[in-house]
């Protein structure tokens, strides 16, 4: 089951396609279409027309002159690109798979090809929804493809047949009922632009509040049509509703719900979109071949007296039902037998059923029906194929809800293709359980290619899994499932009690609802019942009454006595006669009725009922109850010693029952005869009525002549009345002119004054007595030298002229010159009006200055100033202040332009909260700066509220990037100090512990500890000078030499430049300090003339890699010998250096002095690049 809230659409990276089909007369609308089509909508356009197969086509070059988009003829497999036009080549069909457009040779002969249908079908099956445009053309190509696109949730736009040079193709597309827009080609181009720009937003809006609004829409639909779509898959409904949002131009589901309430016609449009009435003959030919082999052939092997009964569920326009009928007739002809065949074809779409009953289909069915079958089962009438009567007579088409209405029974085959895929899993289980109940044990269930019986594996077993043919499992019996029934139950489930205009109002309506609930409970718990009218036709079935139904073969009849099982027909007819004709109740004796191999006792109880109104009683009706007395125990076999009297009694009973059946048949014939006589009598009465009408018409003619004389008298009165009206209108006009204070001049074609209004006297030196004089004869107080010239231009161009002119006293006037039109739309002069706009000009000047000050303030500010729409969907203006890129005009992609993707959810959440509470928006967040980097800003926007609603937002944002960087640097510095202090304390603690262990006395400890702290401090100072990036080995050695080398002793230093890491410098400094301390106390620096030579060099190893080789050599000191125990210096030399850097240290106590060699790897721990 689909539980997500999304809408199925095109996969990521798939280019949306607009397929355009045209034929004869199609070039002109193609020109109009592409002339008015925006070139940047992101669509790929595929144009398919009917071309001569042997002639080259110049259509691509012709269309190239109508548009700036690239136009190309498809030569081979082509990858679609947006904003590009692709044209079909001659003698090739086009199909689309993903983004791949491929030409292929036609399989059909010339004259039977339908390239538009082929393209549209490939779009519908391979990509989902799309856009299809049908323009001028002959024939019906495109009709089947339009239905497929409609089924996939696409949009259909059709040229107005009255505008098209050839309207057959547009009419064929419109006849399918799938057209979403009908109009001229130029308007189709505008509609494509609207749809392309709004598709993504509409799909998003179609999911907003869906959980709340969709049930209310479905409830309103059920209330108006009686159809329940609550069990349909959520995503299917959302896709269909998204289509309706596009077609009706509603911006959200809530708005669409209001539109649906106020527009009853939209109910049918939504119903048609939800009812997927799309099919064609022998859909999936391999599946129909398997059906003929695995289901229909075995049916004829075991056919009984009642023949073959088939139910086609969701038959749409009938192609599938006729396909199965053709297979049955072919098998019967092959066996040369006559078998009663009855096919019940049902659907919810009444319009589709009307098409099915007519059995008339366009010539495009030639693509799916073989020539032999067309000759055998169809009659051709021009471009239309009609199903022959021998096929149509096998099928009864009826409106039927498979989930609500009782099913047909004792069926040999049920075909339900491509219906279950639109139902939720629970409804799929219900439908499959109904099918299992209605099928005979050896019957078959035929499903669509995308469907299966996974929801009820315990009820069916596959016959051909690939072709979706199943058979009921043997030994599995289920009762008729509980069907949907109560309108009030549905209303409650849909939430109609919350729906304004649909909720129950007042106590009377609450009582009515309780009464309905009571009746529904009675129908559930009472014995199964049927309500019939005075003609015995069924009016209403209780939920379990279908258990006792068994319609016979032949034409369908609603007469209850023919619908019930054969064993009950006589008793039902007798009980109905008593109840309807005599007004008496009747309870029949129980009879044995067979139900799926078992027999049960059933009695009939008929009760007369009559609908009572305030003024009269309605026609007689009857309520028939089916009283189930339980199963009948099997009787033991008759004894072979049965007496002759018992045999005679049994035969007499059989004769009596046969006589009663004949009597019933005779009575039925008599009733039919009486009915025919009634009809004849009504026809005679109708003829008599026609004669009476003719007499009345003659009398009427006489009265009309008399009335003509009266009309002539009336005309005179009307003329007098009109003169009075004209006089009144003249007075009204003069009062209007005086009240409006608008100066007006009425001029004739020679610019003579015809009439003036009083305010003109203040501008022109004219009076009413100056009528008939030329306007140029008068002076005026306006700085308007071009008045006469503008008046002449109005007369010559028949256009209006507007000026703003100033009078001599400083006032401003809006002068408007318009042609004077008479009531018969004839130009007969010029009307000149002068409106005083002095105050408006002052207000505009004040506003202009205010805007200039505001603009100067904005430009001078270093902050960002911006203006947003009420819902923040559009940034109307932004002044970046050098921080952000300016936006002079409205844009809708401001979020992606200015806000990094990872910060957008936080920003939108704050915006939604501010909109909801109508409060100030405040947030510190990151932005993309004008130089492309990411910075920080603090943004604050204030809503402008008018009449309780937000009309726009004004905001400002400051650059907080430097402050944020300083804060980050401060935090980094604090963390670094923390780290270094902890490391320093750890080293000091380690020095103290090591010194304490090797010290002989407390004074010795303090002395050594101070020296080592001083050495550590000197190293720390050296590193501090280099900003703790490291230290030079030479500087380190010189620092040690200057510390320990006293007067009279020397030190030699030699080696290449080596930069040590801070950790390496600290450890090596401690080691050198220990060597220097030892040399000062016991070695070369302990007596005059002593010398220490410190050298280092790089050495390469054969295995690869460089090493640092350092030597400390002492000369001129006392003789040295190895110590008895290792002290702190030895620990530092051999422990720390070896442990931390993976090096080796060797101490050679030679007679001339100590030689210490260190061999260390030059890696990242020691060496700093």
Say what the pLDDT of residue 558 is: 80
Question: Do the domain assignments include residue 1044?
Answer: yes
What CATH number should be reported for the domain holding residue 930?
Answer: 3.30.450.20
Number of domains the chain is built from: 7
Are residue 299 and residue 269 in the same domain, yes or no? no
Active-site positions read 23, 50, 141
Say whether pLDDT at 508 is over 50. no
Say what the pLDDT of residue 725 is: 63
Are residue 458 and residue 538 in the same domain, yes or no? no
What backbone torsions phi and psi does residue 47 show, to the nearest 5 degrees? Answer: -105, 125
Are residue 592 and residue 531 in the same domain, yes or no? yes
Q: Which residue has the higher pLDDT, 176 or 881?
A: 176
What backbone torsions phi and psi does residue 263 show, to the nearest 5 degrees? Answer: -125, 90
Question: Do the domain assignments include residue 649?
Answer: no
Rounded to the nearest 5 percent, the helix, strand and coil shares of the chain are 45, 25, 30
Are residue 158 and residue 294 in the same domain, yes or no? no
Which CA distances in Å does 733 have to 38, 729, 772, 832, 1124?
48, 6, 20, 16, 133
What CATH number should be reported for the domain holding residue 326?
Answer: 3.40.50.150
Q: Which residue has the tokens 């109905």?
A: 576
DSSP for 736-785 reads HHHHHT-EEEEE-TT-BEEEE-GGGGGTBS--GGGTTSBGGGS-BSBS-T
**pLDDT more than 70, % of the chain:** 75
Are residue 105 and residue 249 in the same domain, yes or no? no
Torsion, CA 392, CA 396, CA 400, CA 406, rounded to 10: -150
Residue length, the chain?
1169
Q: How does pLDDT run across 651-683, given as a tens digit for each residue?
A: 566 557 655 655 765 666 676 667 667 556 655
Say whether pLDDT at 1034 is over 90. no
Are residue 363 and residue 505 in the same domain, yes or no? no
Say what the pLDDT of residue 710 is: 43
Q: Which residue has the higher pLDDT, 873 or 743?
A: 873
Q: Which residue has the higher pLDDT, 588 or 331?
A: 331
Where does a domain end: 189, 205, 221?
Answer: 205
Where does a domain end: 584, 607, 632?
Answer: 632
Question: Do the domain assignments include residue 356?
Answer: yes
Are residue 555 and residue 502 in the same domain, yes or no? no
Residue 188: pLDDT band with limits 50, 70, 90: very high
Q: How does pLDDT run across 1089-1143, given as a tens digit for each residue?
A: 889 899 999 888 776 668 888 898 988 888 888 877 665 566 666 666 766 777 8
Which CA distances in Å does 670 have to 666, 673, 678, 720, 1019?
6, 5, 12, 72, 128
Are residue 94 and residue 110 in the same domain, yes or no? yes
Say what the pLDDT of residue 4 is: 38
Q: Answer left, alpha or beta for residue 91, where phi above 0 means left and psi between -120 and 50 means alpha.
A: left
What backbone torsions phi and psi does residue 727 show, to the nearest 5 degrees? Answer: -60, -40
Range of the domain at 825: 737-841
Are residue 331 and residue 441 in the same domain, yes or no? yes
Q: How far is CA 904 from the centre of its chain?
A: 23
Are residue 531 and residue 395 in the same domain, yes or no? no
Say whether pLDDT at 579 is over 70. yes
Which CA distances in Å does 639 have to 467, 636, 646, 758, 1086?
52, 9, 11, 125, 143
Do 937 and 957 contact (CB within 8 A), yes or no? Answer: yes
Q: Which residue has the tokens 């003959």?
A: 281
Q: How does pLDDT run across 264-297, given as a tens digit for each residue?
A: 888 888 887 777 666 889 988 999 999 999 999 9
What average pLDDT does the segment 1156-1160 reach? 88
Q: Which two tokens stand for residue 462?
A: 């596959």
Say what the pLDDT of residue 159 is: 94
What backbone torsions phi and psi does residue 782 show, to the nearest 5 degrees? Answer: -110, 145
Question: Do the domain assignments include residue 1092?
Answer: yes
Would you tell me the crossing angle of helices 185-205 and 234-248 to the nearest 10 degrees?
140
Question: Do the domain assignments include residue 674?
Answer: no
Q: How does pLDDT run across 745-756, given as a tens digit for each residue?
A: 888 988 888 888
Residue 135: pLDDT band with limits 50, 70, 90: very high
Q: Which residue has the higher pLDDT, 382 or 1042?
A: 382
Do 451 and 422 contact (CB within 8 A), yes or no? Answer: no
Are residue 393 and residue 424 in the same domain, yes or no? yes
Are residue 312 and residue 440 in the same domain, yes or no? yes
Say what the pLDDT of residue 445 is: 94
């Amino acid at each position: 089951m689909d539980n997500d809230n999304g809408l199925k659409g095109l996969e990521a990276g798939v280019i949306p396609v607009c397929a355009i089909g045209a034929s004869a007369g199609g070039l002109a609308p193609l020109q109009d279409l592409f002339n008015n089509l925006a070139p940047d909508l992101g669509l790929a356009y595929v144009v398919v027309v009917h071309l001569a197969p042997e002639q080259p086509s110049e259509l691509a070059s012709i269309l190239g002159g109508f548009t700036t988009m690239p136009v190309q003829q498809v030569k081979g497999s082509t990858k679609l690109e947006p904003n590009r036009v692709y044209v079909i080549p001659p003698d090739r069909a086009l199909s689309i798979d993903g983004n791949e457009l491929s030409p292929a040779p036609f399989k059909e002969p010339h004259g039977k090809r339908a390239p538009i249908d082929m393209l549209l079908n490939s779009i519908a099956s391979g990509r989902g929804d799309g856009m299809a445009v049908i323009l001028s053309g002959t024939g019906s190509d495109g009709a089947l493809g339009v239905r497929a696109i409609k089924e996939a949730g696409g949009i259909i736009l059709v040229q107005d047949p009255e505008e098209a040079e050839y309207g057959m193709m547009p009419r064929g597309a419109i006849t399918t009922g799938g057209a979403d827009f009908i109009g001229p080609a130029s308007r189709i181009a505008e509609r494509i632009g609207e749809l392309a720009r709004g598709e993504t937003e509409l799909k998003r809006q179609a999911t907003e509040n869906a959980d709340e609004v969709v049930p209310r829409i479905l409830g309103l639909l059920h209330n108006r049509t009686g159809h329940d779509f609550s069990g349909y898959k959520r995503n299917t409904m959302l896709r269909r509703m998204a289509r309706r949002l596009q077609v009706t131009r509603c911006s959200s589901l809530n708005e669409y719900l209001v539109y649906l309430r106020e527009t009853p016609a939209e109910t049918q449009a939504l119903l048609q979109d939800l009812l997927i009435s799309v099919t064609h003959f022998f859909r999936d030919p391999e599946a129909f071949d398997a059906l003929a082999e695995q289901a229909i052939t075995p049916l004829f092997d075991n056919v009984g007296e009642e023949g073959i009964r088939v139910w086609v569920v969701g038959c749409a326009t009938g192609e599938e039902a006729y396909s199965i009928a053709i297979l049955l007739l072919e098998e019967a002809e092959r066996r040369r037998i006559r078998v009663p065949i009855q096919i019940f074809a049902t659907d919810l779409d009444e319009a589709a059923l009307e098409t099915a009953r007519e059995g008339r289909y366009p010539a495009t069915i030639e693509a799916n029906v073989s020539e032999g079958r067309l000759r055998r089962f169809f009659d051709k009438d021009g471009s239309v194929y009609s199903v022959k009567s021998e096929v149509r007579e096998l099928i009864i088409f009826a409106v039927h809800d498979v989930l609500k209405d009782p099913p047909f029974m004792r069926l040999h085959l049920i075909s339900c293709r491509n219906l279950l895929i639109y139902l939720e899993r629970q409804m799929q289980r219900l439908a499959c359980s109904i099918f299992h109940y209605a099928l005979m044990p050896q019957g078959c269930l035929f499903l669509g290619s995308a469907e299966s019986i996974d929801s009820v594996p315990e009820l069916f077993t596959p016959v051909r899994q690939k072709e979706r043919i199943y058979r009921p499992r043997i030994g599995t019996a289920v009762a008729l499932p509980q069907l949907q029934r109560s309108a009030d139950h549905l209303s409650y489930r849909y939430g109609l009690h919350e729906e304004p205009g649909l909720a129950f109002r007042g106590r009377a309506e609450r009582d009515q609802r309780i009464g309905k609930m009571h009746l529904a409970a009675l129908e559930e718990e009472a014995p199964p019942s049927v309500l019939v009218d005075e003609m015995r036709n069924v009016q209403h079935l209780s939920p379990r009454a279908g258990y006792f139904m068994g319609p016979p073969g032949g034409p369908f009849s609603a007469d209850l006595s023919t619908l019930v099982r054969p064993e009950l027909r006589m008793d039902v007819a007798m009980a109905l006669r008593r109840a309807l004709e005599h007004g008496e109740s009747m309870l029949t004796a129980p009879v044995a009725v067979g139900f799926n191999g078992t027999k049960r006792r059933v009695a009939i109880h008929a009760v007369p009922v009559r609908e009572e109104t305030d003024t009269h009683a309605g026609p007689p009706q009857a309520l028939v109850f089916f009283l189930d007395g339980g199963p009948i125990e099997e009787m033991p076999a008759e004894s072979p010693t049965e007496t002759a009297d018992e045999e005679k009694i049994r035969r007499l009973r059989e004769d009596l029952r046969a006589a009663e059946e004949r009597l019933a048949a005779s009575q039925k014939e008599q009733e039919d005869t009486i009915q025919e006589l009634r009809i004849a009598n009504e026809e005679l009465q109708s003829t008599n009525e026609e004669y009476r009408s003719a007499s009345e018409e003659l009398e009427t003619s006489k009265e009309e002549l008399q009335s003509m004389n009266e009309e002539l008298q009336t005309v005179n009165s009307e003329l007098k009345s009109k003169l009075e009206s004209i006089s009144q209108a003249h007075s009204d006009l003069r009062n209007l002119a005086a009240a409006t204070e608008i100066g007006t001049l009425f001029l004739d074609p020679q610019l003579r004054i015809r009439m003036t209004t009083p305010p003109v006297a203040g501008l022109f030196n004219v009076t009413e007595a100056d009528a008939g004089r030329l306007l140029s004869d008068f002076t005026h107080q306006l700085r308007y030298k071009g008045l006469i010239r503008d008046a002449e231009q109005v007369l010559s161009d028949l256009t209006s002229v507007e000026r703003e002119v100033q009078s001599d006293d400083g006032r401003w006037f809006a002068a408007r010159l318009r042609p004077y039109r008479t009531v018969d739309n004839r130009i007969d002069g010029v009307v000149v009006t002068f409106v005083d706009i002095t105050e408006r000009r002052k207000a505009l000047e004040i506003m202009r200055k205010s805007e200039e000050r505001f603009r100067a303030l904005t430009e001078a500010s270093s902050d960002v100033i911006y203006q947003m729409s009420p819902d923040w969907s559009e940034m109307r203006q932004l002044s970046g202040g050098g921080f952000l890129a300016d936006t002079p005009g409205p844009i809708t992609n401001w979020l992606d332009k200015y806000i990094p993707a990872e910060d957008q959810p936080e920003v939108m959440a704050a915006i939604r909260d501010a909109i909801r509470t109508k409060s100030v928006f405040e947030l510190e967040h990151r932005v993309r700066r004008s130089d492309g980097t990411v910075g920080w800003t603090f943004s604050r926007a204030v809503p402008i509220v008018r009449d309780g609603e937000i009309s726009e937002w004004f905001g400002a944002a400051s650059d907080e990037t430097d402050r944020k960087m300083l804060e980050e640097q401060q935090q980094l510095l604090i963390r670094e100090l923390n780290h270094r202090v902890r490391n320093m304390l750890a080293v000091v603690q380690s020095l103290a512990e090591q010194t304490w262990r090797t010290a002989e006395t407390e004074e010795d400890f303090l002395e050594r500890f101070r020296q080592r702290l001083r050495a550590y401090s000197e190293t720390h100072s050296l590193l501090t000078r280099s900003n703790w990036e490291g230290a030079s080995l030479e500087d380190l050695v010189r620092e040690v030499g200057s510390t320990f080398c006293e007067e009279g002793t020397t030190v030699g230093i030699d080696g290449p430049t080596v930069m040590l890491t801070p950790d390496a410098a600290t450890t090596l400094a401690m080691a050198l300090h220990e060597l220097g301390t030892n040399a000062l106390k016991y070695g070369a620096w302990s007596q005059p003339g002593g010398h220490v030579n410190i050298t280092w060099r790089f050495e390469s190893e054969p295995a690869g890699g460089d090493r640092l080789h350092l030597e400390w050599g002492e000369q001129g000191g006392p003789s040295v010998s190895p110590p008895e125990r290792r002290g702190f210096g030895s620990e530092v030399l051999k422990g720390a250096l070896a442990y931390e850097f993976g090096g080796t240290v060797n101490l050679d106590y030679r007679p001339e002095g100590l030689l210490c060699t260190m061999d260390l790897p030059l890696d990242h721990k020691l060496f700093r690049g």
